[in-house]
Amino acid sequence: MTNPLLEPWDTPFGLPPFDRIEDDHWKPAAEAAIAQARAAIEAIAADPEAPTFANTIAALEMADEPMGRVFGAFYAVASADSSPALQALQRDFAPMLSAHTSWVIGNRALFDRIEALWQARETLDLGDEEARVLMLTHRRFVRAGARLEGAQAERMAEIRARLSVLGTQFTQNLLKDEADWSLPLSPGDLADLPEGLRSAARAAGGDKGPVITLFRSLVVPFLQYSPDRALRRKAFEAWTARGMNGGETDNRAIAAETLKLREERAKLLGHDDYASWKLETEMAGNAQAVRELLHAVWTPARAAANADAQIYEEMLHADGHDGPLEPWDWRYYAEARRRAEHEIDDGTLKPYLQLDRMIEAAFSVAQRLFGIEAREIDAPLYHPDCRAFEVSRNGEHLAVFIGDWFARPSKRSGAWCTTMRDQHRMGGRDVRPLVLNVCNFAKPDAGEPALLSFDDARTLFHEFGHALHQMLSDVTYESVSGTSVARDFVELPSQLFEHWLEVPQVLREFALHADTGAPMPEALMDRMLAAANFDQGFATVEQTASAIVDLEFHCGPAPADPIQRQAEILEEIGMPRAITMRHATPHFAHVFAGDGYAAGYYSYLWSEMMDADAFEAFRETGDPFDRETARRLEAHVLSRGGSEEAGLLYERFRGATPNVDALLRGRGLAA
């Protein structure tokens, strides 16, 4: 059969031809791409010429290009618009990709060439980026087990294969639990909810009638606004039970096996535990540095949360309920308090935070800072909800940006940025990226505008900050392009970009009422911004608790029962009883769907130390759009990817790396 994945892509800007791709096309294309990559790597390893940077490292950088083309498109779709067929393919691809990685790492002739170049690095006359790529390539092979032999090498390959299968299964179990549950709402249940939430519930239920699902964009507002305590409890318990409902979608055994295999892998590589292996290459460097950060944040956050809990419990009792404040009560009474103290609620704010206007706002901020322009284009995309834009500067094409913003049962939860093609200049080409932002905002009734909460709008800006890191990348080698940086540095551009959502000039221009077109009143804007740090004790506790549990899971021996160990850790740190972890173990996809944030969930807070300080650089000029500061940010952070050490890049931009005080000030938790 004709397979469009194996043909030249005659599409706008080389986008995947999604309008022609069928499920049966993916597997033959994947097998062909792996075969092409393997042939290219075999040729590198068998090259009779002495190893050089060009014939070994640069050639290796380009060898996986066919795989990047096919799998970049596949995983974009499989994460955002899955189906049973695509999930079956994911299960097939996990061991295939793991076997390919093990073959590459175990190719002794290939590693001997890399090792020879590494030993001779002082004599090679390499440029700075080439030297960095050589170091990273050598380090990647060593850390993956290239120096292991015999039974140890075989065991490492087995561990890698098993972890890839477990991560895929964890994700699919979570998606199924989220898709299978809904809470029907009667007209009486809807009566006290804001119109935007009623509309979203009707859209989620379709012909079945209004429902609450387990997407954050629906369940969190329901917990904020529903006065029915029994319904709140039902929704909250279903939401926090994802991945631990028993049966074939239960993730508890997967988490336990994953932690055990990670520990074994680290020990095979000469480390005491997984955290010491993982953190070796991050900015933090070791578990103790992470622990110090987390506990410096935890102490004031817990104190603030406990003080708030006393207030909310009094409100609960005033409503005629006995007993202590429960986790399904917190958001309801916090929202009531916010309305009382700041005279705002989401029902008042959402009409001013239209999705389309917030998209325009993100592009406008990027234009004012970095001079980029965006125009919407017609292109084949994987779902009708997606929108594509060409991004350019001074008439020069920079990237294609794709936004996929609405929740649906086929999409995994959360929000993320990924690429279907990375920026690079290998082989004398100027390859520009295809960047994708995915969110899970509630879809409105047909013909109605999509309205966001302030947190939703912040998420949109956050993911667009990641996209800028990809779109403004300006390096030669793909392995150091865009967000290919230390995990505790990768959140800096995204969290920094969030700050511009709070700039009054941006809100005055784009926070326009959905019905009247009137700008947000200044008094309402002032109250909204004044409330930006409202309930930060809660937000910081649920996030920091997740980071502490993640770290301790990976320090020392792996727990046989992660749920029991989770409970012990939370007891040790004095977790407030009415707050739960933002991500409990059975649905902690950051940590168990793959290795990316394992022993690394702290990185959001580590990056926040820098993003609070980085925005101060703009404040100090008196202009949040100061072009010279933006130029330095692009020159030293956004364009450089992983071409240098993260700490050096930040210090070039700002002069020094900040401490935790900047984070605490930004959250309103400083003493």
List active site positions. 463
H or E element in which residue 665 lies: helix 660-666
Query: Which residue has 């190719």 as its token pair?
Result: 107
Nearest 5°: CA angle at 201, between 361 and 212?
110
Is the distance from CB of 287 to CB of 610 less than 8 angstroms?
A: no
Paired tokens of 357:
């206007």
Is the distance from CB of 501 to CB of 361 less than 8 angstroms?
A: yes
Ramachandran area for residue 483 (φ above 0: left; ψ -120 to 50: alpha; else beta): alpha
Residue 58, CB-side half-sphere exposure with 13 Å CA sphere = 16
Nearest 5°: CA angle at 162, between 160 and 163?
65
H or E element in which residue 441 lies: strand 434-441
Q: Which residues pair with 451 in a beta bridge?
A: 354
Burial 146-184 (b: 16+ CB within 10 A, else e): bebeeeebeebbebbbbbbebbbbbbbbbbbbbbebbbe
Residue type, 505: Q
DSSP of 509-522: HH-B-TTT-PBPPH
Residue 623, CB-side half-sphere exposure with 13 Å CA sphere = 8
Paired tokens of 86:
């695509």
Residue type, 270: G
Query: CA 269 to CA 148: how far, in whole Å?
Result: 8
* CA-CA-CA-CA torsion sign (206, 211, 214, 219): positive
125: CB partners within 8 A, 6+ apart: none
CA 618 from centroid of its chain's CA atoms: 25
Local structure of 479: helix, strand or coil: helix
Residue type, 311: I
59: CB partners within 8 A, 6+ apart: 40, 44
